[in-house]
Homo-oligomer: A and B are copies of this chain.
């Protein structure tokens, strides 16, 4: 076998897709302003530009897939534990949220800021992610997420968490504990009763 017929590693389609998305998340973290650079992604994966476009027909499709994967990861890591006191489950979830933010600052900023803007697909991804967080909290509380006042309160609270976290990142002058405390206070207040 010659080098040309021996890819560095043969991956099946799903593995390849996952690898490319993973590289995209890494690149977005390292160079958030530039977005994902197809040539460099292909090079890092050891494949041709053409093969990358086989998996993602356009650069835009690729970018949307990367942002979707980052949003899914955020949801995964912040899933609250199934058992325990509500207040403890909330704190565990917020802790995981802040961990994600600290480990993926650029991706996070891109998710809550860059992902909005003019692009409908990206905006929809983030909107859906927010909606899933609302449903998750309502479920944990044994409440109906479709109740307008609860839905609006929880959406507002997600805005609180996002903006306060961005501010915390930007200034780096507040303890993580205080930040989470503020977020807990805000949720408790809009739920009209302590979450525990």
- Whether the pair A190, B185 counts as a contact (CB closer than 8 A) is yes
Complex formed: what's the CA distance from A188 to B159 in Å? Answer: 16
Chain B residues closer than 8 Å to A163, beta-carbon distance: 130, 155-156, 158-160, 162
Complex formed: what's the CA distance from A130 to B182 in Å? Answer: 18
- Whether the pair B173, A164 counts as a contact (CB closer than 8 A) is no
Complex formed: what's the CA distance from A135 to B66 in Å? Answer: 37
Q: Which of B117, B162, B166, B190 contacts A186 (CB 8 A)?
A: B190
Interface string of A85-108 (1 = CB under 8 A from B): 000000000000000000000000
How many A residues touch the partner, as a band? 35 or more
Given A118-B114, A119-B117: A156 and B164 within 8 A (CB)? Answer: yes
Interfacial residues, chain A to chain B (CB-CB below 8 A) = 113-114, 116-119, 123, 130, 148-149, 151-153, 155-164, 166-168, 171, 173-174, 178-179, 182-183, 185-186, 188-190, 192
